[in-house]
Amino acid sequence: MTTTSSTLADATAPAPKRVHFKTWGCQMNAYDTERMAGLLRPLGYAVTEEASQADLLILNTCHIREKAAEKVYSELGRLKAQRKPGSKLAVAGCVAQAEGAEITARAPQVDLVIGPQSYHRLPELIARSAREAGEVLHTEFEAEAKFDALEGERPAPGVSAFVTVQEGCDKFCTFCVVPYTRGAEVGRATDRIVSEVRALAAQGVREVTLLGQNVNAWRGAPPAGIGGEAWGLGQLCRHLALIDGIERIRFTTSHPNDMDDALIRAFAEEPKLMPYLHLPVQSGSTKILKAMNRRHTAEDYLRLIERIRAARPDIAISGDFIVGFPGEDEAAFEETMRLTREVGYAACFSFKYSRRPGTPGATMPKQVAEDAKAERLARLQALLDQQRLDFNRAQIGRTLPVLFEAEGRHEGQLKGRSPYLQAVHADAPATLIGQIAAVEIDAAAQMSLSGRLSVVAAA
């Protein structure tokens, strides 16, 4: 502080600085970015959208497919010209975890490499990289410490908020880097989850989405004072539904093998648990599922979907698919098309298989040619797009409870979500933001629905 007129408080407060984030990958990364921003705020860092104005730049990266990982290096190149002299550059996220040493070799301008399990040490590592010339590498696994240390500040939430309940993965699907970048499955303590959701509700949050790489593998001790056996996600959802102000609960991403009866029952019995389930299957071929180490057959998956639909008939199912995994021939791909037709998805993500270094799939024989992958992906996506449109169109004429989240693009319009996670636009007063209102759906497109506020307000 150089100003002479500053009060004592000003003089001891850290100098104002700016941090710029660029985030790729899954919702967990988006959540982690928020948390890093919260951790840096007490050190005087305000978030800026302008990379050129930042004293600290943090790239929160994704390693899931080759394209995702390569984006980091092109961004690092771009930033060279943009960054303010003297600014610090950090690479965080899954590329940092997987390729830490390679990053500093390929991009010597990087000051700090920090893996997802070390974010709570960010302030200390930033201080260290300021003192020391040369890069600092921190990529150890300490997920439990991270959960505890990142409980601090969070930017003011909106109507809907994510809450991490579980991190890491023990499944080791043969195509996937996540077990290597995020480490073993660790569940966050029940009491901590409950107190975070309570705090969010008090700030106006009406919907929480519980996050985890394998969210339905979450297990936790019952909250203090309740006792009994360990809880699974179904019990957690029911308990969170008791919190005043929380109207909707969702969770993502689930693994088919962790869909236990208690969780399926929760869909039947807990109205606040929304009828939407992201349940990736990856392939419709049992042979390929085996090679992927998914540990279930295509039949198992279809039977599971039947049980879930028996519990909650209107449930919308979404999923992820990989086409062109090693060994996938035309017949195996046709089985994926058949399974897709049989399930009838509401929305899906689908990808060409990407060989990830260090995973078993990368060195398997019978790799599929790129043009075959592209052709299969186009066929699958055409079917999935049609299913999404059909599902959206099926809502026309129905009245859906919509949780309004924000103003829409047009004057007087709000946007919100249906129970099935569809974006819904309707003319409505801004006072309805944060509330659930009944909307008569009169139009449907690929990505959204629109309708009119119904006279009778929904619960």
> Backbone phi, then psi, for 437, in 5-degree steps?
-130, 155
Residue 258 sits in the site that holds ligand SAH (CB under 6 A): no
Residue 351 interacts, among ligand F3S, ligand SAH, ligand SF4, none and using kind-specific CB cut-offs from 5 to 8 Å, with: ligand SAH
**Using CA atoms in the order 19, 22, 27, 30, what is the torsion angle rounded to 10 degrees?**
10
173 is in an annotated binding site: yes
Nearest-approach distance from CB 65 to ligand SAH, in angstroms: 5
Q: Calculate the CA 375 to chain-centre distance.
A: 28
94 is in an annotated binding site: yes
Burial 292-304 (b: 16+ CB within 10 A, else e): bebebebebbeeb
Q: Residue 12: exposed, middle, or buried by beta-carbon count in 10 A (0-12, 13-18, 19+)?
A: exposed
Span 43-82, contacts to ligand F3S by CB under 6 A: 62-64
Residue 103 sits in the site that holds ligand F3S (CB under 6 A): no
Residue 353 interacts, among ligand F3S, ligand SAH, ligand SF4, none and using kind-specific CB cut-offs from 5 to 8 Å, with: ligand SAH
DSSP letters along 164-211, please?
E-EE------TT--HHHHT-S-EEPPHHHHHHHHHHHHHTT--EEEEE
Q: Residue 221: exposed, middle, or buried by beta-carbon count in 10 A (0-12, 13-18, 19+)?
A: middle
Distance, in Å, from the CA atom of 403 to the CA atom of 414, rounded to the nearest integer, reads 10
- DSSP tag of 62: -
Of residues 190 and 214, the one with the C-beta less far from ligand F3S? 214
**Structure token digits, residue 3:** 């100003």
Of residues 31 and 45, the one with the C-beta less far from ligand SAH? 31
Of residues 250 and 255, the one with the C-beta less far from ligand SF4? 255
Distance, in Å, from the CA atom of 24 to the CA atom of 29, rounded to the nearest integer, reads 7
Please identify which residue in 93, 187, 275, 280 interacts with ligand SAH, judged by CB under 6 A. 280
- Residue 227's Cβ-side half-sphere holds a number of Cα atoms within 13 Å equal to 1
Report whether 446 contacts 390 (CB < 8 A): no
Nearest-approach distance from CB 236 to ligand F3S, in angstroms: 21
Handedness of CA 422, 425, 426, 432 (dihedral sign): positive
Of residues 87 and 174, the one with the C-beta less far from ligand SF4? 174
Residue 94 sits in the site that holds ligand F3S (CB under 6 A): yes
26 is in an annotated binding site: yes
Residue 356 sits in the site that holds ligand SAH (CB under 6 A): yes
Please identify which residue in 121, 138, 182, 312 interacts with ligand F3S, judged by CB under 6 A. 182
**Using CA atoms in the order 374, 379, 382, 386, what is the torsion angle rounded to 10 degrees?**
-150
Please identify which residue in 117, 181, 214, 450 interacts with ligand F3S, judged by CB under 6 A. 181
Of residues 289 and 426, the one with the C-beta less far from ligand SAH? 289
Residue 356 interacts, among ligand SAH, ligand F3S, ligand SF4, none and using kind-specific CB cut-offs from 5 to 8 Å, with: ligand SAH
Of residues 41 and 171, the one with the C-beta less far from ligand SF4? 171
Nearest-approach distance from CB 177 to ligand SF4, in angstroms: 7
176 is in an annotated binding site: yes
Residue 319 sits in the site that holds ligand F3S (CB under 6 A): no
Q: Which residues bind ligand SF4 (CB under 6 A)?
A: 169, 171-173, 176, 178-179, 213-214, 255
Distance, in Å, from the CA atom of 344 to the CA atom of 392, rounded to the nearest integer, reads 12
Of residues 136 and 176, the one with the C-beta less far from ligand SF4? 176
The binding site for [4Fe-4S] cluster comprises 26, 62, 94, 169, 173, 176
**Site residues (vs ligand F3S, CB under 6 A):** 25-26, 28-29, 62-64, 93-94, 177-178, 181-182
Binding residues: 26, 62, 94, 169, 173, 176
